Amino acid sequence: MKFIVSKDVFEKMESVCFAVVVARGINNEVENTEISSLLEASIKAIEDKFGAAKVKEAKEIIPYREAFTKLEMNPNKFMSSIEAMASRIAKKKGFPEINPVVDLGNAISLKYLVPLGAHDMDSATGDICVRFSHQGDQFIPFGQSEQEYLEQGELIYSVGDKVKTRRWIWRQSEQGKVTEESKNIFFPIDGFKGQNDQNVIAARDELAELLQRFFGCQVEVGFIDKDNREMELA
């Protein structure tokens, strides 16, 4: 299994980059108070940062809004995952704990203000790809069971014709979601070289270190850009 970013993604967004963490042998069934504390601290930091400021105007968020516009996706209608998370917290709408791995990912995502995904690798039957959609690609929205069928040209994460995220980093699928039973997990962190790649790499490295500390699992890291478009995952 590989992680592959299609060449035409870089033709559309030359500076886009992807930090990668792969964790194997996780026990995600035991509650972890340290992770809960990390998430609480990240939530508090977001509340403080955006007490009197707009999330969409933050220097950390602007590169994603500009990229969505370039991809012909209205960033006011389709917010990146990190903008949506930060906006929810800034509006004091609360933020849930899900399970230890997801909570850890959310804590790091919020700390560095970068979108950080988590995908159960055992549910994937082929390479995980970032590409533009083909007509008929299939997506099951998170928390639902009915499939949606995509038109051509939408930036997605996918495994074969199964779509893992729609509109790039907007919404994740029900397929491959991380649960308490998940043991082998792929974490992509999306960003832009020359804009926020330092935060992307810092988030990757802290996530890798904390996964090893809290779960005692095997961890590998990688980095994808236009000069290195794929990484072996298994």
- The reported pLDDT for the residue numbered 94 is 87
Arithmetic mean of pLDDT, 54-58: 98
DSSP for 41-77, written as a single string:
HHHHHHHHHTSSS-GGGSTTTHHHHHHHHHTT--TTT
- The reported pLDDT for the residue numbered 28 is 98
The β-bridge relationship of strands 16-24 and 185-192 is antiparallel
- The reported pLDDT for the residue numbered 155 is 98
Assigned token pair, 32: 């972890």
Which one-letter DSSP state was computed for residue 29? S
- Of 222, 192, 184, nearest to 205 by C-alpha is 222
Whether 112 contacts 207, CB under 8 Å: no
Arithmetic mean of pLDDT, 14-35: 97
pLDDT of 234 higher than 80: no
Whole-number average pLDDT of the chain: 97
- Of 175, 28, 41, 27, nearest to 95 by C-alpha is 41
- Of 9, 185, 1, 201, nearest to 104 by C-alpha is 185
pLDDT of 100 higher than 90: yes
Tell me what percent of the residues of the chain surpass a pLDDT of 90: 96
- Write down the domain spans for the chain: 2-232
Q: Which numeric CATH code is attached to 2-232? A: 3.50.40.10
Arithmetic mean of pLDDT, 57-72: 98
pLDDT band of residue 5 (cuts 50, 70, 90) is very high
Whether 147 contacts 85, CB under 8 Å: no
Arithmetic mean of pLDDT, 211-233: 97
Whether 159 contacts 129, CB under 8 Å: yes
Distance CA 155, CA 172 (A): 13
Could you report the per-residue pLDDT of 130-180, keeping only the tens digit for each?
999 999 999 999 888 899 999 999 999 999 999 999 999 999 999 899 999
pLDDT of 96 higher than 80: yes
Residue 202 CA, distance from chain mean position: 15
Phi, psi of 47 (to 5 degrees): -60, -40
Could you report the per-residue pLDDT of 75-91, keeping only the tens digit for each?
999 999 999 999 999 99
Distance CA 119, CA 117 (A): 7
pLDDT of 3 higher than 90: yes
pLDDT band of residue 34 (cuts 50, 70, 90) is very high
Whether 99 contacts 178, CB under 8 Å: yes
Please, how many CA atoms are within 13 Å of residue 59, restricted to the half-sphere of its CB? 3
Residue 233 CA, distance from chain mean position: 17
- The reported pLDDT for the residue numbered 58 is 98
Arithmetic mean of pLDDT, 212-229: 98
pLDDT of 110 higher than 80: yes
- The reported pLDDT for the residue numbered 143 is 86
